[in-house]
Amino acid sequence: MENIKDPSIYRNPVILQSEDLTKYILETAVYPREPAPLKELREATNNHPWGFIATLPEAGQLMTLLLKLLNPKKTIEVGVFTGYSLLLTALNIPHDGKITAIDINRKTYEVGLPVIKKAGVEHKIDFIESPALPILDKLLEDPANEGSFDFAFIDADKENYVNYHERLIKLVKIGGLLVYDNTLWGGRVCWPEDKVPPHARSGRDAAIEFNKTITNDSRVEFALTSVGDGLNICRRVA
Ligand code: SAM
Ligand code: CA
């Protein structure tokens, strides 16, 4: 992780090309409607040295709307960190809904856990501390899991997005959503290679490869949106 310690990779002023526009969106639309538990978790995360990698609240607002529209009961999250996207998912699925949440680091999950508990939604979460690929493969060993998830949010190591997609497309049902974060990589996906700082190249190359893969994947319809750091929203259709 050390070599990507560059908050500008994750900040959308790079994509929107305007600090003022970002501020406008946050202050007029996002912060006034952000639920109190999410605000509390976001503020707790700000004190973490890696706080800047958390899901951006404006991306969270769009995800919330998608969750409300879909009303999923069974979801999966790859890449939890301190739990902003996890908590917002837990707040927007039914009381008996379930989230399988995978991350290699339980310690960061524990930063947000007190807020998750206070919000009364911990019972919906099955947190698994592990690299995600073997867990997804294990889930696929049981045919009952195929097509059983309504919603997936993917926000872990970008270099594995294509690998995650190959597995998640089988786990998510037809009509379900797969939402991938950071798919514009701070706007660097369109930069000439020599302008991209070395520490941002691997993520940028992965985002380019992933977006191309999705464009050529007839199993999904999708929108590559410039909200936050780029959300690629895919709906499984085959
Ligand atoms: N969605 C989170 C949020 O709302 O704040 C942010 C996730 S953060 C950008 C990426 C997370 O992916 C980190 O917590 C990291 O530990 C985790 N991660 C990195 N590689 C992973 C892997 N191979 N398997 C599972 N988790 C991984
Ligand atoms: Ca992210």
ipTM of the complex, rounded to two decimals:
0.99
Buried b (16+ CB within 10 A) or exposed e, 62-92: bbbebbeebebebbbbbbbbbbbbbbbbbbb
Describe the crossing of helices 161-171 and 132-141 by its angle, rounded to 10 degrees. 20
Q: In the predicted model, is pLDDT for residue 2 greater than 80?
A: no
CATH classification (class only), 2-236: alpha beta
CB-based neighbours (< 5 A) of ligand 2, an ion: 155, 181-182
pTM of the predicted protein model:
0.95
Mean pLDDT over 59-87 rounds to 98
Residue 48 and residue 81 in contact, taking contact as beta carbons nearer than 8 Å: no
Q: Is the CB–ligand 1 distance for residue 229 below 6 Å?
A: no
Residue type, 142: D
Mean pLDDT estimate for the chain:
94
Tokens of 56: 């951006």
Q: Is the CB–ligand 1 distance for residue 53 below 6 Å?
A: yes
- Measured from the CA of 132, which atom of ligand 1 is nearest? 24
Q: In the predicted model, is pLDDT for residue 8 greater than 70?
A: no
Mean pLDDT over 59-75 rounds to 98
Mean pLDDT over 126-136 rounds to 98
Sketch the domain layout of the chain as residue ranges: 2-236
What is the best residue among 42, 43, 52, 80 to mutate for testing ligand 1's pocket, by most ligand atoms within 8 Å of CB? Answer: 80
Q: Is the CB–ligand 1 distance for residue 79 below 6 Å?
A: yes
Distance 40 CA to ligand 2 centre (A): 18
Task: For residues 149 and 126, give the distance between their C-alpha atoms in angstroms, rounded to a whole number.
Answer: 14
Task: For residues 71 and 97, give the distance between their C-alpha atoms in angstroms, rounded to a whole number.
Answer: 9
